[in-house]
Amino acid sequence: MNTQDQLKKAVGEKAALLVEDGMKVGIGFGSTVYWFVRALGERVKQEGLDIKGIPSSILTGEWAKEFGVPLTDFATTKELDITIDGSDEVDPDFQLIKGGGAALFREKIIAQAAKKLVIIVDDSKMVEHLGAFALPVEILQFAWERTAYEIEKLGCTPVLRLKDGEPLITDNGNYIVDCSFEKIKDPADLDRKLQSIVGVVETGLFIDMADTIIIGGSEGITIKEK
C-alpha cells in the first residue's frame, strides 16, 4: 500500500470511531470512504454496534453489504446523526469540491440530512483556494450541450465526463461535466449561479456543510472543527 493509501486508511479508521451505538450514519463514496466502511463493519462485528447506514452510491451500498454494515433508507429514516465522506478539495473555510467519483448528488443529500458532516482526507486535498480540481457538475442528459454552454459563460470549459469512451451516467441517470475554473474566488456565489441554470441537477460545491475535517498527513492525524 502506498503512503497516500495508508493515510486514507488511517483517517477512515479514525472516523469509524466517531460512530456511536444507535446512530444513523450517512456513508459517502470514494477510496477514502472505502476504509471507513471496512472499519465500521469491523466495529459492528466486534462490538455489536447497533447502527444503520444510508449509502450515497450503489457501490457504497455494495461495500456496506460486503463488510457487514446494516443499511436503511430515507423511506424509514429522514434524519441522520452523522455523515462521513471524502472530498477532492477542502479550503480553509471548510468549503469543498466533491464529485470526483460522480456521486455528488446523493452525497449532498446525505450531507444535508445529517446533524454533523465529517470529511476525511489526506493532506493533498487541503488547498488555499478551490478550483485546481475541475468542479464536477451533474446535469440532465436532455439538452446537455445547451446546459454546458450556459455553464461555460461562467468562465470555464465544461468537459463531458466519459467512461470507456461513452458519457458517464451517474447513479441518477445524468451526465457529469467537469469545469476547470482554476481559482474559484467566491465558491458560494459560483454555486448560486450554477444552480440557477436550468439543466443543472447539482454541483460539487459543498458550501457551509462540513463541520469537521479529519486530515491524514506524514505527521499523523489532525482534526479541525468549524
Ligand X SMILES: O=C[C@H](O)[C@H](O)[C@H](O)COP(=O)(O)O
Q: How far is the CB of 76 from ligand X (least distance, A)?
A: 25
Residue among 107, 138, 150, 202 flagged as catalytic: 107
Cβ burial of 27 (10 Å; 0-12, 13-18, 19+) is buried
Which of the stretches 100-108, 147-155, 170-178, 211-219 binds ligand X when contact is defined by CB under 6 A? 100-108
Q: How far is the CB of 67 from ligand X (least distance, A)?
A: 17
CB-based contact 158:151 (threshold 8 Å): yes
Which residue from 81, 84, 27, 91 is spatially nearest to 59, judged by alpha carbons?
A: 27
The alpha carbons of the chain give a radius of gyration, in whole angstroms, of 17
Determine the size of the site formed for ligand X (CB under 6 A): 17
Q: How far is the CB of 9 from ligand X (least distance, A)?
A: 11
Residues 226, 224: Cα–Cα separation, whole Å: 7
For ligand X, give the closer residue by CB, 38 or 98: 98
173 annotated as ligand-binding? no
Q: How far is the CB of 202 from ligand X (least distance, A)?
A: 11
Out of 28, 61, 158, 187, the residue judged to bind ligand X by CB under 6 A: 28
Does 101 bind ligand X (CB under 6 A)? Our answer is yes
Q: In what order do the strands lie in the sheet with 89-90?
A: 89-90, 96-97, 205-206
Active site residue 107: yes
Phi, psi of 16 (to 5 degrees): -65, -25
Does 81 bind ligand X (CB under 6 A)? Our answer is no
Phi, psi of 181 (to 5 degrees): -100, -10
Catalytic residue list: 107
Residues forming the site for ligand X (CB under 6 A): 28-32, 85-88, 98-104, 107
Annotation: binding site: 29-32, 85-88, 98-101, 125
